[in-house]
Amino acid sequence: MEINFDNNNKLLILLPIIYNIWEDNILTEKEFTAISNYIKGAKWLTEDEKVFIASKIKFSDPPTRSELNNWLNKINSVASNSANTLTELGILMANNDRVIFTGDDIQKIAPDIVKLEISLGISGPEATQRFLNNQNSITNTHNTNQSFNVGLMTSLLNNGQDDLINKVKLIIKSADFELNIPTDTAEFREKVLQWCKILSENGLGSYAYPKEYGGKGDINGYFTIMETLSYHDLSLVIKFGVQFGLWGMSVLSLGTEKHYSKYLNDIGLLNIPGCFAMTETHHGSNVKGIKTTATYNHINRSFTIHTPEKYDRKEYIGNAANHGEMATVFAKLIIDDKDYGVNAFIVPIRNKAKQTLPGIAIEDCGHKMGLNGVDNGIIYFDNVEIPYDNMLDKFASVNTNGEFESRIPSDNRRFFTMLGTLVGGRIGIPRSALSAAKVGLATAIKYGDKRRQFGPENGAEVPVLNYRMHQQRLMPYLANSYALTFGLQYLTNRFINRKEEEMQEIEALAAGLKAYATWNTRDTLQECREACGGKGYLSENRIDDLKNDTEIYTTFEGDNTVLMQLTAKNRLSEFRKQFGEMSVSTIFSYVVEQAKTSITEKNPFAIRNTDESHLKDAEFHLHAFQYREKEVVASAAKRFKRLIDSGLDAFDAANIMHPHMLQITYSYLDRVVLEQFKLKIDAEKDVALKEVLTRLYNLFALNKIDENKAWYLEQGYMDGIKTKAIRKLISQLCWEIRQDAVPLVQAFDIPESCLGKIASSKIEEA
Amino acid sequence: MEINFDNNNKLLILLPIIYNIWEDNILTEKEFTAISNYIKGAKWLTEDEKVFIASKIKFSDPPTRSELNNWLNKINSVASNSANTLTELGILMANNDRVIFTGDDIQKIAPDIVKLEISLGISGPEATQRFLNNQNSITNTHNTNQSFNVGLMTSLLNNGQDDLINKVKLIIKSADFELNIPTDTAEFREKVLQWCKILSENGLGSYAYPKEYGGKGDINGYFTIMETLSYHDLSLVIKFGVQFGLWGMSVLSLGTEKHYSKYLNDIGLLNIPGCFAMTETHHGSNVKGIKTTATYNHINRSFTIHTPEKYDRKEYIGNAANHGEMATVFAKLIIDDKDYGVNAFIVPIRNKAKQTLPGIAIEDCGHKMGLNGVDNGIIYFDNVEIPYDNMLDKFASVNTNGEFESRIPSDNRRFFTMLGTLVGGRIGIPRSALSAAKVGLATAIKYGDKRRQFGPENGAEVPVLNYRMHQQRLMPYLANSYALTFGLQYLTNRFINRKEEEMQEIEALAAGLKAYATWNTRDTLQECREACGGKGYLSENRIDDLKNDTEIYTTFEGDNTVLMQLTAKNRLSEFRKQFGEMSVSTIFSYVVEQAKTSITEKNPFAIRNTDESHLKDAEFHLHAFQYREKEVVASAAKRFKRLIDSGLDAFDAANIMHPHMLQITYSYLDRVVLEQFKLKIDAEKDVALKEVLTRLYNLFALNKIDENKAWYLEQGYMDGIKTKAIRKLISQLCWEIRQDAVPLVQAFDIPESCLGKIASSKIEEA
């Protein structure tokens, strides 16, 4: 009788391995030789059996497809969880109808077969588990499981602005606002202008202006409008911001009553489209260095606006290429050949028929990466004369004798005071950026909950949001989006309720949070794009426009890297006020040692404490954040001093310090946002809301610590065992939050018309 | 006589402080009070003097602008490097024409004034240095200073392919190829098709095909063409790749002689535009799960291609929306109701008049984030019958009895073998991605060398590339671009000279490097965009298209995250072959302890060694990279086993392991690329080239270690003191490489027509 697997149970011990070598994609001819060699030396096989087995493992003579399938069926029918190796599985099969191998045999035979498995690299747990029916794996059964009331959460996020938010949403949900972005730039710009017109007709343009000039005197409302509009197209948001924010608010902030009564009403109704012309080609970030001149002519009390050299032209000016009729122009005031620093002037640039006025030359900035609905342009002034009243004269003026007058004698200080009044832009932009990130998150998370791909052997495919990797890509950004909502509400409140002496701090906070939030949006949308795969690349799913439009958010209203330095300087200055610098080395050492002592020496247990309750303890988070903030700024002061003492020029020293300065700002803002998140949770009464917010809060806190773990390890603030435990807890938190992820993005209450198509509840997984 | 600063030298000691409080933007009213309080208590001032000083520090009554300027002139005329504080500067001024304050007085008076400075926060080094003329700061005078021969470097990078590269460059520099991208999609698609036609007419389309079918049999040349074309528009590259790579190579790799003679010549000449139809809406990454069927009909020996359900349609198919006439379609072969796994078939989809054939329905994927010159479409098949010969039958066929035949019995293994023959795409794409990154780098670095912004007080503005921050944003990516050039050349060589038994390893390497290189491009271009500020946002500077076009590189030809897992699985499998798993805990401990021993116990000095020579030692780098690679894979094997032993299902355990698996691939590829970089340097004869490449190599190596420093710290492989020293050395290397940065990007020899406008040598800083 011919030998085969059916009539010789003993041989079944090898069947799982033999099946694997034909099925597995990894094995090469070389490895077939390994098994062949084993067979030759196997004492428990007869020569005939060896011949048979050798015939089944001949690289050049594979089994037929149906034979392979028969083997698989055989193995499947016996496969059990108790087999940890293919050899154990083989023993199970061999012993199936009667016992062939007992303990003794197994000890004699099995170890060599196991070695064979190992040498073939088919010894992993997948090797045996592939034969099991795994439909009920944990990964497979995880799903959306809402734990809180979505409406309550929406209300919390809306922060008392529900009515206004709903009003704006009604408009952007209307048929007029259908999101069908033209690829043709000219067409797109006209559409955006029309949208702005509709918004102004609904009283939204003038919201921040005083009531006597048609507004509501509600700057908080203005920010809410910007934020809510940002679920919709961002060209609209920026056009809106240029017209009603930059242009209108520059008149309001830098001008006086005569300007308000003449212009504000019409600006708010979009009857005078206007520009904010500050940036020059050669002076982007270093605005103090602009070269455009405004020369005072005493004879007729006028000013002549002029672009001295080609690259002193105003560049990237929104509303300039097509629609703007006037512009707030920043120029150096010249009186009798003397330079009185940068001041602002209203300069007409087009007539009502949209013809460029004499002396004005305008070029189109052309196609851009995004925001193509905004008509950015370049403006040149060739000795353009404007009347005396067109100087925006809140901070400086020319008196009737033709003399310069200002209550702020320093040109530098005056300029920065003027800029300070315009800080609102640095609140509107990060809030807009955050909304864009939320649209991306809502789209990617809803899609990830539906989209299935891969799964356990023999089981159904799994929603991609069940993959830990996918969770760890998206959940931290979801936590950030909640944290930043509260952080930016705090910034807004500080700004609205500001006292004069707080302005520097608030400006620094706004500058920093603008950079912090817009970079967060950049990173969030990048992750969302990739998380949606090919779907994320299709324009119908909006992530492309959201990404490309917000890309420039990291540059305009102040380049992020420069803004981070600005905030850091403020923090360093505050630090010096507290601790000075001459004695830095002593005071510094004291501060640090004190901090270190409380952690390491006084409590050597803490740096290795991996208890979950400790890692989730808000006191631990706050201490870690504060410690980092203090240490980073103190070490910067010390290092700066050391560089200067070594003979370096201050500018060179500052240059070396820039990367360190960035860390000052990050550590400061992380702490501020953390605190605001915590305050919000503490004030919340609803238990379910409190719980889900606490999970997000823990993820936010631990993720930031994880991002900075190298620093904490360098400082000896934490041991490796603790940073690893944090990593593990983050994975666990992402896993838990995934169940509430869809409700958490539903709580943003973004109009469905503004989400990517793949997020739509009407579309099945696609 | 009235008291003033001119007639009372003693008071000048306070002038620098007083000037500062009016000039500085940071001080608030509260702080004016501090100085006022000091004056009240100052014993060295008479009552009259106090009254005078008080009048100069009244918040509500500032000095005039000209008075402030007078003070500045006074201070400037005396300012000296020797003054470290405003108080010291004041003493210098007070003592200027005769000595007012001597040692004793200074000891009595100065400390309190210094305290005042500190409390006002105006005690930083900038406070005194602002009065100095700093034109010769180090930052200010740093510049481009070429150290090597650019032509030699170009030749090194070209790797022997100069002729072909120059041929391709000549074409993309020609007038026909002017980079003037239409915003209109239809127009853009036609332009790209015309470009492809020109390339095919120049014999570039068929380069990889055998000579007997019109080609050059040169797959290496094909990759070189893709890479060089990628300096130009990337829609062109992808359309080219779809036609001559995916479509043509699928016929070549999966078909047999009968297909070659019938199709290849025409494909290479673009006479038969075609598609590669694998991906389905419901099956992107999990291609094995596709649902399209190819049912064999024995009566007339034909196949019926069919899309069973809506989302089983083929999606994102390049060339499908407009131009494709045929498609390689992947479908499950069904014979007598039995499923024989995924096979490939040639299916005509349009006639020459571009009309869709019966049974074929095609939708346009619509506007995309990028690559809008490629006509991606969705294809549905409604029982489309194709002749027997249209089955691509290299790996499987249906015999004359209507039976399935294949030399690979396992459907799984056969499918992955088929995919393996198509691995070329995973070489072409990362090489294309790298070229795009180089265009971005060349643009941003050339611009950064010209663009000036800010500068020391009273000094000229500084090229932004002199800022450490700017250097640290761009130089590591410049180093990566060199490292990856050599890494991808290595991959190409391995692929071209492959032996059958190496295929698995090469496939894993290609999958990993595809992900590694395309993510590097994503990050490089992001940094370049931001580094160019507003200019980086204008389409004329190309970073927008480069970014948006390569964005999908991280998804197509295999989602990067999935590919990283694939590579990691291969590494883990290789590890298991070497060390097994059953005994992992013992072998593992041995390996790790041995490694650890050599570092920590045997050489406790090493973990704290901060000598520059050590940090620049290639042996240190290699050891650190290898240690990480081995440790990460060994710990993964151990952890996986632990998870399974704890009762977890293999699928669930794998899910938890995904982030860890990513690290296996990163650590593996970092080591491979490092080695290839080093080999290239070792083989280089030219001393200048060797030196600059070594600087780049050091930056690459240390930057990777820095990126993973948390891991090294957790392992105890390095102490904080060492990771900090590495950070410092990276800053120094960036500073040094900056001098060669422009020549280093010039060595890419990218046609100027392909660079952003701002990089053009014809345009002055703008």
- Tens digits of residue pLDDT in B681-700: 999 999 999 999 999 999 99
Interface membership of A63 toward B (CB under 8 Å)? yes
> Is B174-422's fold the same as B426-759's?
no
The tens digit of pLDDT for each residue in A11-22 reads 999 999 999 888
Residues of A in contact with B472 (CB under 8 A): 659
Answer yes or no: is pLDDT of B589 > 70. Answer: no
Query: What is the pLDDT, as a whole number, of residue B599?
Result: 52
A–B interface: beta-carbon pairs under 8 A: 368
Measured between CA atoms, how close is B726 to chain A, in angstroms? Answer: 12
Q: Are the Cβ atoms of A662 and B554 closer than 8 angstroms?
A: no
Q: Are the Cβ atoms of A284 and B533 closer than 8 angstroms?
A: yes
The amino acid at A547: K
Query: What is the pLDDT, as a whole number, of residue A592?
Result: 53
Q: Phi-psi category of B91—alpha, beta or left, where left has phi over 0 and alpha has psi -120 to 50?
A: alpha
Residues of B in contact with A340 (CB under 8 A): 65
Interface membership of A68 toward B (CB under 8 Å)? yes
Contacts of A282 (CB under 8 A, 6+ apart): A289, A291, A311, A312, B452, B765, B766
Q: Are the Cβ atoms of A533 and B559 closer than 8 angstroms?
A: yes
Q: Are the Cβ atoms of A570 and B26 closer than 8 angstroms?
A: yes
Give percent of chain B with pLDDT exceeding 90: 76
Q: B312, B281 in Cβ contact below 8 A?
A: yes
Measured between CA atoms, how close is B331 to chain A, in angstroms? Answer: 18
Mean pLDDT lowest among A121-125, A467-471, B652-656: A121-125
Measured between CA atoms, how close is A50 to chain B, in angstroms? Answer: 22
Query: What is the pLDDT, as a whole number, of residue A601?
Result: 41
Query: What is the pLDDT, as a whole number, of residue A423?
Result: 92
Q: Are the Cβ atoms of A650 and B125 closer than 8 angstroms?
A: yes
pLDDT band per the 50, 70, 90 thresholds, residue B127: confident
Helices (H), A646-719: 650-683, 687-707, 709-715
Q: Are the Cβ atoms of A369 and B580 closer than 8 angstroms?
A: no
Answer yes or no: is pLDDT of A25 > 70. Answer: no
Q: Phi-psi category of A454—alpha, beta or left, where left has phi over 0 and alpha has psi -120 to 50?
A: left
Q: Which of A537, A581, A653 sits opposite B369 (nearest CB)?
A: A537
Q: Are the Cβ atoms of A582 and B503 closer than 8 angstroms?
A: no
Q: Are the Cβ atoms of A370 and B537 closer than 8 angstroms?
A: yes
What is the arithmetic mean of pLDDT over A108-127? 82
pLDDT band per the 50, 70, 90 thresholds, residue B587: very low
Q: Which of B62, B286, B407 sits opposite A408 (nearest CB)?
A: B62
Give percent of chain A with pLDDT exceeding 90: 77
Interface membership of B662 toward A (CB under 8 Å)? yes
* B-contacting residues in A 637-656 (Cβ below 8 Å): 640-641, 644, 648-656
The tens digit of pLDDT for each residue in B233-251 reads 999 999 999 999 999 999 9
Answer yes or no: is pLDDT of A559 > 50. Answer: yes
What is the arithmetic mean of pLDDT over B51-57? 92
Show the CA angle centred on residue B43, arms to residues B37 and B46, nearest 5°. 95
Query: What is the pLDDT, as a whole number, of residue A124?
Result: 67
Query: What is the pLDDT, as a whole number, of residue A31?
Result: 76
What is the arithmetic mean of pLDDT over B288-313? 96
Q: A667, A632 in Cβ contact below 8 A?
A: yes
Helices (H), A497-559: 503-531, 543-551
Answer yes or no: is pLDDT of A582 > 80. Answer: no
What is the arithmetic mean of pLDDT over B146-152? 98
Where does B426-759 sit in CATH, by number? 1.20.140.10
Mean residue pLDDT across chain B: 92
How far is residue B652 from each of residues A81, A139, B640, B661, B695, measured CA to CA in Å? 14, 6, 10, 14, 45
Q: Phi-psi category of A735—alpha, beta or left, where left has phi over 0 and alpha has psi -120 to 50?
A: alpha
Answer yes or no: is pLDDT of A577 > 60. Answer: yes
Mean pLDDT lowest among B346-360, B371-385, B576-590: B576-590
Q: Pick the residue from chain B with its C-alpha nearest to A370.
A: B537
Q: Which of B183, B316, B720 sits opposite A713 (nearest CB)?
A: B720
Answer yes or no: is pLDDT of A581 > 60. Answer: no
In this structure, are strands A293-297 and A326-335 parallel, antiparallel, or unpaired?
A: parallel
Interface membership of B460 toward A (CB under 8 Å)? no
Q: Which of A139, A366, A407 sits opposite B652 (nearest CB)?
A: A139
Mean pLDDT lowest among B3-12, B329-338, B535-544: B3-12
Chosen for mutation from B25, B118, B131 (greatest number of chain A CBs closer than 10 Å) is B25
Please tell me the distance from the alpha carbon of residue A127 to that of residue A85, in angstroms, as a whole number.
Answer: 7
Helix axes B468-496, B720-746, angle to 10 degrees: 80
Of residues B132 and A757, the one with the higher pLDDT is A757
DSSP state of A452: B
Which one, of A267, A300, A288, lies nearest residue A197 by Cα?
Answer: A267
Residues of B in contact with A68 (CB under 8 A): 409-410
Q: Are the Cβ atoms of B710 and A713 closer than 8 angstroms?
A: yes
CA B325 vs. chain centroid, Å, equals: 36
How far is residue B481 from each of residues B340, B433, B520, B719, B736, measured CA to CA in Å? 44, 10, 9, 29, 17
**SS3 per residue for A218-277:** CHHHHHHHHHHHCCCCHHHHHHHHHHHHHHHHHHHHHCCHHHHHHHHHHHHCCCCCEEEE
Task: Provide ipTM, 2 decimals.
Answer: 0.94
Interface membership of A443 toward B (CB under 8 Å)? no
Q: Which of A538, A650, A658 sits opposite B468 (nearest CB)?
A: A658
Query: What is the pLDDT, as a whole number, of residue A252?
Result: 98
CATH class of A174-420: mainly beta
Of residues A412 and A689, the one with the higher pLDDT is A689
Q: Are the Cβ atoms of B121 and A576 closer than 8 angstroms?
A: yes
Query: What is the pLDDT, as a whole number, of residue B763?
Result: 59
Measured between CA atoms, how close is B244 to chain A, in angstroms? Answer: 22
Answer yes or no: is pLDDT of A396 > 70. Answer: yes
Q: B163, A612 in Cβ contact below 8 A?
A: no
Interface membership of B365 toward A (CB under 8 Å)? yes
Q: Which of A124, A137, A417 sits opposite B649 (nearest CB)?
A: A137
Residues of B in contact with A311 (CB under 8 A): 764-766
Which one, of B475, B462, B466, B469, lies nearest residue B733 by Cα?
Answer: B475
Q: Are the Cβ atoms of A417 and B25 closer than 8 angstroms?
A: yes
The tens digit of pLDDT for each residue in A304-314 reads 999 999 999 99
Map out the domains of chain B as residue ranges: 9-132, 174-422, 426-759
Mean pLDDT lowest among A390-394, A695-699, B109-113, B735-739: B109-113
Nearest-Å Rg of the Cα atoms of chain B is 34
Answer yes or no: is pLDDT of A457 > 80. Answer: no
Q: Which of A183, A641, A716 sits opposite B367 (nearest CB)?
A: A183
Q: Is A102 helix (H, G, I), strand (E, B) or coil?
A: coil
Q: Position of tokens 């500067």? A: B89
Residues of B in contact with A448 (CB under 8 A): none
Contacts of A458 (CB under 8 A, 6+ apart): A132, A133, A134, A135
What is the arithmetic mean of pLDDT over A561-568? 97
Backbone angles phi and psi of B397, in degrees to 5: -155, 175
- Compute the Cα dihedral for A495, A499, A505, A508 and give only its sign: positive
Query: What is the pLDDT, as a whole number, of residue B1?
Result: 67
Q: Which of B115, B286, B366 sits opposite A454 (nearest CB)?
A: B286
The tens digit of pLDDT for each residue in A246-285 reads 999 999 999 999 999 999 999 999 999 999 999 999 988 8
Q: B581, B637 in Cβ contact below 8 A?
A: yes
Please tell me the distance from the alpha carbon of residue A747 to that of residue A151, in angstroms, as a whole number.
Answer: 7
Looking at domain B174-422, its CATH superfamily turns out to be Butyryl-CoA Dehydrogenase, subunit A, domain 2 (2.40.110.10)
Interface membership of A501 toward B (CB under 8 Å)? yes
Answer yes or no: is pLDDT of B751 > 80. Answer: yes
Residues of A in contact with B32 (CB under 8 A): none
Interface membership of B178 toward A (CB under 8 Å)? no
Which one, of B425, B368, B427, lies nearest residue B545 by Cα?
Answer: B368
Interface membership of A134 toward B (CB under 8 Å)? yes
Interface membership of A723 toward B (CB under 8 Å)? yes
Q: B357, B173 in Cβ contact below 8 A?
A: no
Which one, of A713, A369, A680, A749, lies nearest residue A522 by Cα?
Answer: A369
Chosen for mutation from A655, A719, A735, A763 (greatest number of chain B CBs closer than 10 Å) is A655
Which one, of B344, B380, B317, lies nearest residue B249 by Cα?
Answer: B344
